[in-house]
Amino acid sequence: MGGIEFLKGHGTQNDFVLLPDPSARLDLTPERVAALCDRRRGLGADGVLRVVRASALGLESAGEWFMDYRNADGSIAEMCGNGVRVFARHLVDAGLAEQGEFTVGSRAGDRPVVVHPDRSVTVHMGPATITGTSVTMVAGRPFSGVAVDVGNPHLVTALDDDVAGLDLREQPEYDHDVFPSGVNLEFVNVLGEGALRMRVHERGVGETRACGTGTVAAVAATLHLAGTDAGEASVDLPGGRVLVTVERGGATLTGPAEIVARGELDEAWWAAAGAPGGL
Ligand SMILES: N[C@@H](CCC[C@H](N)C(=O)O)C(=O)O
């Protein structure tokens, strides 16, 4: 077997290892994902994007390619908004899709994307559904938020205090009865009409510098709190800015997507990373 190809990329500094695996041959265990994403013993990333043909997994999709997304702790998530932009960027760079509009499959369903000439990517994210309210606790301080489903679960809290002041180094507490599979936690400041600032603590990762599904949830939740269900906003994150539109039928996310590096994984490292207990 030859070396295992990888790429490294990011969307607003939410970073990923991409593993091209068109025929679904890789044994991508949670241990290997966690080792790859570790910033000292691996390549370092917030998640892994396996680039696999939908047909190789026996999946129905309008698109040829399926984004098999994994969080840094090895867990599986339904959808990743920054990841799908980087995934689309790779498909075009690698000549596997034409610049313009095509569809990427995800566990949350098909996601049409548009790769623009300026290298930004727009993703049709599907509906952002308000599912209720809940409470999270950050460093002993309770915050009430709006629960939003964007294919994956989110709880969005709008704060008057600057979000920069929050300590998100530890996992904030949340209601496990409301979110039995865990939750992504977004904290936002409304800067004015159509402008938000956001920080996020992601399920399966920790604090990241951006979360695309989280920005869609944040815009949907703040519109909901303002008594409407449609609108658009720019969202400033530690890793950059994205633009989000929310309508009744679906949301869009537009932002940058970059491929940083390409290489080959060491085969002995890959074998050891998959052994019981990992590396
Ligand atoms: N960073 C992603 C979201 C990745 C999945 C999330 N951590 C989850 O477990 O649902 C994004 O850009 O949307």
Ligand 1 in reach of 212 Cβ (< 6 A): yes
Q: Is the pTM of this model over 0.95?
A: yes
Ligand 1 in reach of 239 Cβ (< 6 A): no
Of 83, 100, 109, 87, give the one whose Cα is nearest residue 213: 83
Closest atom of ligand 1 to CA, residue 211: 12
Q: Which residue from 12, 17, 71, 219 has its CB within 8 A of the most atoms of ligand 1, so it is best to mutate?
A: 71
Q: Can you give the pLDDT at residue 278?
A: 65
Indicate if ipTM > 0.90. Answer: yes
Residue 43 counted as domain residue: yes
The range of the structural domain enclosing residue 229 comes to: 129-249
Q: How many domains are there within the chain? A: 2
Residue 174 counted as domain residue: yes
The alpha helices in 131-230, defined as continuous H runs, are: 212-225
Residue 144 counted as domain residue: yes
pLDDT digit string, tens, across residues 189-221: 999 999 999 999 999 999 999 999 999 999 999
Asked if 52 and 136 sit in the same domain, the reply is no
Asked if 64 and 137 sit in the same domain, the reply is no
Asked if 261 and 229 sit in the same domain, the reply is no
Distance CA 16, CA 273 (A): 18
Asked if 56 and 164 sit in the same domain, the reply is no
Residue 103 counted as domain residue: yes
Provide, rounded to the nearest whole percent, the portion of the chain with pLDDT above 90: 96
The one-letter code for the residue type at 57 is L
Residue 222 counted as domain residue: yes
Residues annotated catalytic, as ranges:
80, 211
Ligand 1 in reach of 82 Cβ (< 6 A): yes
Task: Tell how far the Cα of 77 is from the centroid of ligand 1, in angstroms.
Answer: 7
Asked if 98 and 24 sit in the same domain, the reply is yes
Asked if 9 and 82 sit in the same domain, the reply is yes
pLDDT digit string, tens, across residues 36-86: 999 999 999 999 999 999 999 999 999 999 999 999 999 999 999 999 999
Alpha carbon distances (Å) from 110 to 19, 64, 84, 105, 125: 20, 10, 11, 4, 9
Of 89, 151, 95, give the one whose Cα is nearest residue 116: 89
Asked if 119 and 138 sit in the same domain, the reply is no
Residue 279 counted as domain residue: no
